[in-house]
């Protein structure tokens, strides 16, 4: 059982627990409160898990009420948020009570948004049940819902605790292990090559406890330095400038899109900064079954979507590029660099 702590201004804000079986940690964190009322939010795919955790809490004398939101991104809608606000209000929920979100990144994003806004903020905990959630989405206090654009509205709000049960992650289907591998490899490329080496050795058979602990350690370190993404936190967006554009235009999954995005931004890194790791990066992505190209996208649409990227500033488009592995830089990119990125993924 490993614990990581996110601190804001030197004060501990969020504890992340990684281990096998997290019921004891759940009861421990819930038990630090005087209130006994808990609302457990889940999706249809995580209802069984939510029931198990609710049972453990009821056994400890908590009063638990549950609410199921729609699956996947359908949960990240303001209408769903409003439904949950009503449910909490009708349940007599106060600022002393606790919301627990059980699910993947979409569920924790919406649970965090609800927690950060209901009554101007109530305590929240997450139980992250996907690898993307465990290595990325549940960590770092960003929450959000989709309006026209993805994550268009959100608040920074830290869950008091994030619990990650590796036994649940081990049972995930390969498709979800692959999605998570894209984000874990991203963390590897920008900061911790031991993650990359693990996937090179064992592909999807990697030891997920080690991968999650290493990824969480990097993300916690970055967030502790720059919670509100005014500087260093931007490095976590490696592969995401092109990746988000691919995701929007093709409707591919986030992990697949980020993999293609990292191939493109690896090529851009070579063109702009002389990065020499392009082939190694492509090889490991391919080894875990992630795509290297998006033949269903066009350069024109991807470029148009990239122009809306959040990292853009008054001087133009910016990307996180690698000088070498574990040495990322947020830089302005010229047309030739964008061209190299597109050529790297066969975009014309």
Ligand X SMILES: NC(=O)c1ccc[n+]([C@@H]2O[C@H](COP(=O)([O-])OP(=O)(O)OC[C@H]3O[C@@H](n4cnc5c(N)ncnc54)[C@H](O)[C@@H]3O)[C@@H](O)[C@H]2O)c1
- List contacts with ligand X (CB under 6 A): 43, 45-46, 71-73, 76, 103-107, 109, 129-130, 132-133, 136-137, 140, 142, 151, 168, 172, 176, 179, 254
- The smaller minimum CB distance to ligand X, of residues 135 and 272, is found at 135
Residue 255: CB minimum distance to ligand X, A:
7
> By Cβ distance, which residue is nearest to ligand X?
105
- The smaller minimum CB distance to ligand X, of residues 64 and 172, is found at 172
| Exposed/middle/buried for residue 326 (C-beta within 10 Å: 0-12, 13-18, 19+) | middle
Residue with tokens 């890194």: 269
Residue 170: CB minimum distance to ligand X, A:
10
- The smaller minimum CB distance to ligand X, of residues 22 and 338, is found at 22
- The smaller minimum CB distance to ligand X, of residues 180 and 344, is found at 180
Residue 108: CB minimum distance to ligand X, A:
7
The angle, 0 to 180 degrees and rounded to 10, between the axes of the packed helices 335-344 and 254-273 is: 130
- The smaller minimum CB distance to ligand X, of residues 168 and 347, is found at 168
Please, are residues 248 and 150 in contact by the beta-carbon 8 Å criterion? yes
Residue 207: CB minimum distance to ligand X, A:
18
Residue 104: CB minimum distance to ligand X, A:
2
What's the rounded Cα separation, in Å, for the pair 254 and 182?
Answer: 9
- The smaller minimum CB distance to ligand X, of residues 43 and 249, is found at 43
Question: Within 10 A of 55 (CB to CB), how many other CB atoms are there?
Answer: 12
- ∠ at Cα 94 (150, 92), nearest 5°? 100
Residue 238: CB minimum distance to ligand X, A:
13
What's the rounded Cα separation, in Å, for the pair 300 and 315?
Answer: 21
Residue 143: CB minimum distance to ligand X, A:
6
| Exposed/middle/buried for residue 49 (C-beta within 10 Å: 0-12, 13-18, 19+) | middle
- The smaller minimum CB distance to ligand X, of residues 272 and 306, is found at 306
The CA R_g of the chain, rounded to the nearest whole Å, is: 20
Distances (CA, A) of 181 to 169, 216, 218: 12, 13, 15
What's the rounded Cα separation, in Å, for the pair 171 and 95?
Answer: 35
What's the rounded Cα separation, in Å, for the pair 290 and 175?
Answer: 10
């Amino acid at each position: 059982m490993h614990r990581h702590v996110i601190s804001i201004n030197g004060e501990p804000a969020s504890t992340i627990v990684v281990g096998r079986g997290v019921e004891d940690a759940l009861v421990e964190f819930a038990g630090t409160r005087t209130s006994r009322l808990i609302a457990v939010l889940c999706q249809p795919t995580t209802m069984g898990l939510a029931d198990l955790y609710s049972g453990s809490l009821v056994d400890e004398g908590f009063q638990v009420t549950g609410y199921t939101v729609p699956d996947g991104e359908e949960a990240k809608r303001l209408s769903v948020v409003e439904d949950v606000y009503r449910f909490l209000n009708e349940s007599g929920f106060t600022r002393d009570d606790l919301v627990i979100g059980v699910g993947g990144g979409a569920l924790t994003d919406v649970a965090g948004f609800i927690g950060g806004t209901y009554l101007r903020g109530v305590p929240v905990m997450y139980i992250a049940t996907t690898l993307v959630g465990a290595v990325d989405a549940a960590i770092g206090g960003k929450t959000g819902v989709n309006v026209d654009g993805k994550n268009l509205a959100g608040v920074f709000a830290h869950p008091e605790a994030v619990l990650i049960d590796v036994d649940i992650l081990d049972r995930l289907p390969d498709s979800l292990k692959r999605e998570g591998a894209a984000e874990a490899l991203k963390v590897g490329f920008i900061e911790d090559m031991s993650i990359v080496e693990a996937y090179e050795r064992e592909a999807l058979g990697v030891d997920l406890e080690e991968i999650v602990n290493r990824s969480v350690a990097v993300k916690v370190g970055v967030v502790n330095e720059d919670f509100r993404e005014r500087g260093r936190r931007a490095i976590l967006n490696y592969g995401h400038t092109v990746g988000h554009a691919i995701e929007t235009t093709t409707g591919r999954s986030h992990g697949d899109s980020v993999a293609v995005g990292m191939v493109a931004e690896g090529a851009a890194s070579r063109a702009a900064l002389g990065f020499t790791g392009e082939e190694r990066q492509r090889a490991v992505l391919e080894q875990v079954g992630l795509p290297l190209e998006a033949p269903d996208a066009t350069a024109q649409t991807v470029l148009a979507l990239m122009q809306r990227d959040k990292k853009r500033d008054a001087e133009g488009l910016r990307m996180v590029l690698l000088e070498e592995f574990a040495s990322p830089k947020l830089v302005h990119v010229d047309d030739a660099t964008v061209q190299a990125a597109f050529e790297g993924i066969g975009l014309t």
